[in-house]
Amino acid sequence: MLGKPQWFQRRKYAGWGIYPKTYQGWLYLCVLVAGLLLIQFINWPGKNTSTILMFIWAGVFVLDTLDIMIRMPRDERDRLHEAFAERNALWVMVIVLAIGIAYRTAQSMLSGAVYVEPVIIIALFAGLAAKAATNIYLDKKD
């Protein structure tokens, strides 16, 4: 689309996504962020024009970032390292969510009314369903 994969490198240590490695990547990032800021500070005619333009600009930014990430070349070692890192991050998130559910449940039981946040439970079961579906797909693919 707009950006080129050679302008970026994979973000390994601080989250997910890409990181600019050339001046073109930094310029690309600055132009996109400046566009978001510009949309907010201009007085547009109409009540929701600024919001609509912001969603369109952010949508282009997200789609282009995903396109760049897909087109970035990776060898088998990069894929394996990324898979291990993703797996470990997922386990930590699941453990923290489970501890959070246990804490909130115990806290609500002490106050007399048992309440568990449904979104967190849905997230855990959605992760379980995604894992099961992936394993079924991969078993049938082999």
Condensed to tens digits (0 to 9), the pLDDT of residues 74-129 reads 778 777 777 787 788 888 888 888 888 888 888 888 888 777 778 888 888 888 88
Phi then psi dihedrals of residue 44, to 5 deg: -90, 150
Domain of residue 101: give its range. Answer: 77-141
Q: Are residues 86 and 67 in the same domain?
A: no
Q: Are residues 83 and 103 in the same domain?
A: yes
Count up the domains in the chain and report the number: 2
- Cα 30-34-35 angle, rounded to 5 deg: 120
pTM of the model: 0.55
